[in-house]
Structure 1
Amino acid sequence: MKITIAQLNPVVGDIEGNMARLIDTLSHYSCDTDLIVFPELFLAGYPPRDLLERDSFINKIRLAIDKIVVESVKFPETGLLFGAPITSGENTGKGLYNSALLVYQGRILLSQHKSLLPTYDVFDEARYFDPAPSIQTIPFKGETLGISICEDAWNDPELWPKRKMYAFDPIEELAVQGANLLINISASPFYVGKEEIRYRLIQNHARKYEVPFIYVNQVGANDELIFDGRSIALDKKGEPLLVCKAFQEEIKTVDTGEKGIPGLYKPQEKIEAVYQALVLGVRDYMKKSGFKKAVIGLSGGIDSALVCCIAKEAVGAENVLGISMPSPYSSRGSMEDSRKLAANLGVEFRVVPITGIYQAYLDTLKKHFAGREADTTEENIQARIRGNILMAFSNKFGYLVLSTGNKSEMAVGYCTLYGDMSGGLSVISDVPKTMVYELAKFINRHGEIIPQEIIDKAPSAELRPNQTDQDTLPPYPYLDKILQLYIEEGYGAQDLVEEGFDPETVKWVIKTVEKNEYKRRQAAPGLKVNTKAFGIGRRIPLAAKRDS
């Protein structure tokens, strides 16, 4: 059977637009394929979240499905398989299914609902959907199709070594029913290393049941989540027939009767994948939110330099403005380094000094602060002035402010609420400081873009004389190892000490992470690139007793 994989980038909520793309794909590719397969919830875009609770939204979905069914009559040789939310017709439960619809010659041959509804990390599907009451295979053009949706293929013991997540295995059931071609439509978000896990998972299914497996994943970015695509087609021995590109749309046709090509699949290099993910995250967030230009505060440090590079790659140099805002403690080198970076990238660069504004603040507060030593209060004032200036440019010219705090800083609160945390998108809030340097090295792989002076200088907020980050924080390599185990792996204090970390440092890190939860709750949405990011996938109470 010839199957066309439509690895496309839907817009959440744009039912008409997503439907138009589906029909356009059908009209262009129907002449040389038996079946065109689109990702999970393609008509709605994934994740639609509480849009699913609006009757008007579900009604628009239903009308779109009706139009697609009518349109399919024009292409009598080609079937369509796509994802959409549909009503269950039941008076109990959520009343909605996450479904895969097989449409052919003006009929819906099958509405296969999703069985396994993930409720961990960023997923909350049981909030909206009921699980499938049953699953079944379907004969189509001489084959017996076993159709599943995303998580339905993830009930593999290798993925859940401590405890099996689900009691039911939909892929096994489809195989028992005689499926000789397995198809999974998916919206599987990216994180570092997931691509290889996903490939191995699908390969295991193909080999175990000795049937070809077609896996179609969404591409694009929606809010915090980035979808890398990397759709695949495997033969019955688990060898790749086709591997789609990462982080870009692609439409490819494959013949499931052919033999796979050993070695065709090669995983992306980690840092390149993270960079491409962040670029796509910024590009889609801006495009889908209606922003054409971005503004960034350039401090002369590596974090803002990295964000500026990502923004330039995402939306073009002509759509990025970098602003240097020197204070009394800013080194001349920092401003000149920022100017050089902007020149290397070809982005507009402006200087807006804040010394006068800062002094006005100090004069205004002088009598109220009499008898007290200068401390972080005065440092934070500088950061908040800068945040206000960036927001003023946003208001006046319609720019999106991209905030530049990395994951290490966000974790321990080494950032100023309403200051450098100001912005509409926190680009690298899931990128540890050590990875920031790896990304800078990747950007400079063909020549200097980020000035070497920025990479070599000791990290500093430059909010007091001769300040460096390491005056306050443990060395970043050491800090990042603790944070990775604590935040992403769920290690406790004793676990970390047993791993060989200094007990006092562990205690300080955990206490600092916990007490800064309120800051992160108020932060701009951040792009997820690791297994556990701050944001929708990490729900820590604010008013609670702390373990530390």
Structure 2
Amino acid sequence: MQDLTLVMAQLDPLVGDIPGNADRAIEAVREARIEHGADIVVFPELYLSGYPPEDLLLRPSMETRLREARSRMAAKVVRDVLVIIGYPGRREGNGYNLAGLLYNGEWLDEYAKQVLPNYQVFDERRYFATGEQSLVIEHKGAKLGLLICEDLWDGAPVRKARDDGAEILLTLNASPYHQDKPGERLRLLEQRAAEVGLPVVYVNTIGGQDELVFDGGSACVDGSGVLRVLAPYWQAGLMPVQFVQEGGRWVPQEGEIEPPEEPEESLYCALVSGLRDYVNKSGFDGVVMGLSGGIDSALSLAIAVDALGPQRVQAVMMPYRYTADISREDAAEQARMLGVGYQVLPIEPMVDAFMATLVETFAGTQRDTTEENLQSRCRGVLLMAISNKKGLMVLTTGNKSEMAVGYATLYGDMVGGFNALKDVYKTWVYRLARWRNTQSPAIPERVIERPPSAELAPDQKDSDSLPDYDVLDAILMRYIEGDMSAEAIIESGYDRDDVYRVVQLVDRCEYKRRQAPVGVRVTPRGFGRDRRYPIVNGWQPGE
């Protein structure tokens, strides 16, 4: 009875670091051979360039660097292991998304991705031509059919590989996370395997890249669609899959299966991973953030500490005359709970100085949001000064509900380099805060229970300006994720005035979102790469 050991290399490449990614691949193959007796090692999609490389693919030197990296791999990768690894490449004047096969110092063949996604965050037709052929290669008695990510979701390349004699399907992936995506993937794997009656090995990348985050979850299902191996989510590593030939078919043996995550845990890990990789890959020493005593900054602080450790996080309370005593107390208490550096920098002298300078300019006008925004902008100035002086990235804290309707101040609380909560609706902010406290004390309970307020005016509450967050988020999800019109949302049971007020705010505030920091994308329709609306337009939201 023959057997075959395949190792899924669930790793976190750095986009553009082609030599470094190649070196990590060489080491991973060596480790897979020594620790697991690997016959085959499979890496994720576009591993050598990192994913997504975007317009780096248009750089003339990209192909030269890839050739050098592949030559070094051919010289240094251990023998007797078939390596299947993703990279971009130009062939006969066209760019392709490729999977290359390396064995005993020789690059044997290449497979070009056949289905190029061009929706949501994907823009592959900008860079790549479509592959036309399936590729089946025999190794140690097993016929291996290659696929790359969207090939599996489409399905046609899966059937072509089976028809060309594949006995095991290997798919290289860079599948970004969003809420509920892990379950969608596993259902897809089960469906495709059962359709063609072949085992499928699914190798996914991991880690954060700009606003995208990858959760891993590399897996293998058998020819009936039964899950046999599932690698841990949110952990880089090498996961072996043992195949045994039984009755002329290759059957994956039962191995480690990661238990399912709660929705809150999965989302929280995505935010931690995205922030950690953004800060570390960008070379920042740590982060500085405003800690207001409110729920958004409290959750952001917990995420930052879990991502970077308390010694790399500095929190700053910047009170004004409208800042409640309980906000000051809760901010100080949370900083103590989490062990972060903490300062109190009152902004009243700054605000007074600005108002004194503007007194003649503002003569004859009434107090309005201008004065409220000035408070926020003074805080932004302080945070950016600390950032410049100490080399710390400013972590901003606005949630998706606020970003959607523009309940944020340009050059004020929107100041920053990254926003972990940018794609998290307010209702989920509360869910995450409660979940995080079940793991260990991290957020004072009073912060979670009290009504949210920007504290820019006396007795101010968010509900003074916005519908309750349960209602607001339901409308926003239908308008943003569902692309429903205002009238369709109203027909589904929401108040006409609320709906029109919300959708008009969303449309009117596109200019703000264009100037907002990047943040982790965790919904199927995040602001940024996959929701591109014109700033100036005459579109009417009714129909």
Q: CA deviation at 1:106?
A: 1.9
Aligned position for 2:248: none
CA distance in 1, matches of 2:184, 2:342: 42
| 1:231 and 2:230 matched | no
| 1:291 and 2:284 matched | yes
Q: CA deviation at 1:133?
A: 2.7
Aligned position for 1:133: 132
| 1:206 and 2:206 matched | no
From 173, 185, 189, the equivalent of 1:186 is 173
Q: CA deviation at 1:504?
A: 1.1
Aligned position for 2:43: 38
Q: Deviations over 1:433-472 (max 9, x none)?
A: 0000000001111453211111111100000111000000
| 1:448 and 2:441 matched | yes
Partner of 2:394, secondary structure, is strand
CA distance in 1, matches of 2:441, 2:166: 54
Aligned position for 2:14: 11
Q: Deviations over 1:18-41 (max 9, x none)?
A: 001100111222241110011000
**Do the aligned residues in 2 keep the contact of 1:430 with 1:530 (CA within 8 Å)?**
yes
Q: CA deviation at 1:429?
A: 0.8
Aligned position for 1:405: 398
CA distance in 1, matches of 2:257, 2:332: 44
**Do the aligned residues in 1 keep the contact of 2:229 with 2:255 (CA within 8 Å)?**
no
Structure 1 vs Structure 2: percent identity of aligned residues?
Answer: 43
**Do the aligned residues in 1 keep the contact of 2:242 with 2:252 (CA within 8 Å)?**
no
From 318, 321, 334, the equivalent of 1:328 is 321
From 416, 431, 448, the equivalent of 2:424 is 431
From 204, 207, 215, the equivalent of 2:202 is 215
| 1:80 and 2:79 matched | no
- The one-letter code sitting in structure 2 at the alignment partner of 1:388 is V
CA distance in 2, matches of 1:185, 1:326: 51
CA distance in 2, matches of 1:379, 1:398: 29
**Do the aligned residues in 1 keep the contact of 2:229 with 2:256 (CA within 8 Å)?**
no
**Do the aligned residues in 2 keep the contact of 1:239 with 1:260 (CA within 8 Å)?**
no
- The one-letter code sitting in structure 2 at the alignment partner of 1:59 is T
Gaps of 5+ in 1: 157-168
Q: Deviations over 1:371-390 (max 9, x none)?
A: 11100000000000001100
Written as runs of structure 1 = structure 2, the 5 A alignment for 1:29-178 is 29-31=32-34, 32-72=37-77, 75-90=78-93, 95-155=94-154, 169-178=156-165
**Do the aligned residues in 1 keep the contact of 2:153 with 2:188 (CA within 8 Å)?**
yes
Aligned position for 1:358: 351
Q: CA deviation at 1:215?
A: 0.4
**Do the aligned residues in 2 keep the contact of 1:329 with 1:465 (CA within 8 Å)?**
yes
CA distance in 2, matches of 1:446, 1:60: 45
Partner of 1:200, secondary structure, is helix
- The one-letter code sitting in structure 2 at the alignment partner of 1:479 is L
CA distance in 2, matches of 1:113, 1:190: 24
Q: Deviations over 1:52-83 (max 9, x none)?
A: 110112210111012112224xx332110000
Q: Deviations over 1:342-388 (max 9, x none)?
A: 00000011000000110111111111111111000000000000011
Partner of 1:154, secondary structure, is helix
Written as runs of structure 1 = structure 2, the 5 A alignment for 1:344-383 is 344-383=337-376
**Do the aligned residues in 1 keep the contact of 2:136 with 2:144 (CA within 8 Å)?**
yes
TM-score normalised over the length of structure 2: 0.96
**Do the aligned residues in 1 keep the contact of 2:242 with 2:253 (CA within 8 Å)?**
no
**Do the aligned residues in 2 keep the contact of 1:239 with 1:261 (CA within 8 Å)?**
no
TM-score normalised over the length of structure 1: 0.95
| 1:464 and 2:457 matched | yes
Partner of 2:516, secondary structure, is coil
Gaps of 5+ in 2: 245-250
**Do the aligned residues in 1 keep the contact of 2:241 with 2:252 (CA within 8 Å)?**
no
CA distance in 2, matches of 1:214, 1:204: 13
| 1:494 and 2:497 matched | no
